[in-house]
Amino acid sequence: MSRGSSDLTVDLKYDLYEKSVQNPENDMLFLNQEFERLRKRRALTLREDFGGTGMLACVWGSQSPDHHAWAVDLDQEPIDLGKKRHWSQLKDLEKERVTYLHGNVLENRDFKSDIVVAFNFSYFIFKERSLLLSYFKKVLEGLEKDGMFAVDIFGGTECHQELEEETEHEGHSYFWDCDSYNPLNNHCTYYIHFQTHHDKKKHLKAFHYDWRHWSMAEIVDLMQEAGFSKVITYWEGTDEDGEGDGIFYESKSEENCESWVTYIVGLK
């Protein structure tokens, strides 16, 4: 997660971010269901790369006395805030099962986990193919012998258009702003803005992302090249109104739409 330059306090900035874009309970449901379906056992350990505040890691570690989680991030600011916002709310024994690691996701680790995740499109920070491949290989090394790697990814006909999309939430609005896109190399700049409803004030550039927008096909190819034995692509179902229903299923062919978000899973 990249910091922006807004006038928000650190606490409020991350509070608005988490309320706008994160749903660790849904992610955890997907991970638990898919791991058990694919590996015929429960997943007990999870490493959250680009973990930010470690929200998912804390939720994961609180599931049972057998669950453990690590949250890895290069930025100390979200780690400090995550310990304050999430880790501090855990029970004493749960705290012992959740560890924050300040470091680079490309570094070697002295432990392995059942699952590694890179959510919120964070791996898009790797613009060079060779670097992203190195990261995927490092993930493979850090997985148990029947481990699973999960990333999320977004796309659609609007994802490369320079536009600002507003989503209303209780007490605030969230703006996803595609500021620039270079079609020659898929490099793009995104911002997140917020508007607080009580004072109608818009807080610009709370978060800033300088990314390469990777396609689903590219990520599948890179995971396979990294050595994953099987790579699975998913798609989200729709409700009666044509909106996403939060239920993801394996798929190899879908019709494109204006905007979509889904998962890719790599099996060791």
Local confidence pLDDT in tens for the 268 residues of the chain: 566 556 789 999 999 999 999 999 999 999 999 999 999 999 999 999 999 999 999 999 999 999 999 999 999 999 999 999 999 999 999 999 999 999 999 999 999 999 999 999 999 999 999 999 999 999 999 999 999 999 999 999 888 889 899 999 999 999 999 999 999 999 999 999 999 998 899 999 999 999 999 999 999 999 999 999 999 999 998 887 767 778 899 999 988 888 899 999 999 9
How many C-beta atoms surround the C-beta of residue 239 within 10 A? 10
Residues 70 and 180: their CA atoms lie apart, in Å, by 34
Residues contacting residue 253 through CB under 8 Å, at least 6 positions apart = none
How many C-beta atoms surround the C-beta of residue 182 within 10 A? 12
Per CATH, the number for 10-156+213-267 is 3.40.50.150
Residues 40 and 17: their CA atoms lie apart, in Å, by 35
Partnered with residue 194 across adjacent β-strands are 174, 203
Residues contacting residue 118 through CB under 8 Å, at least 6 positions apart = 49, 50, 105, 139, 149, 150, 151
Residue found under tokens 């992302």? 209
What does the pLDDT read at residue 5?
57
pTM of the shown model = 0.93
Partnered with residue 250 across adjacent β-strands are 234
Domain ranges of the chain: 10-156+213-267, 164-211
Strand bridging mode 187-196 / 172-182: antiparallel
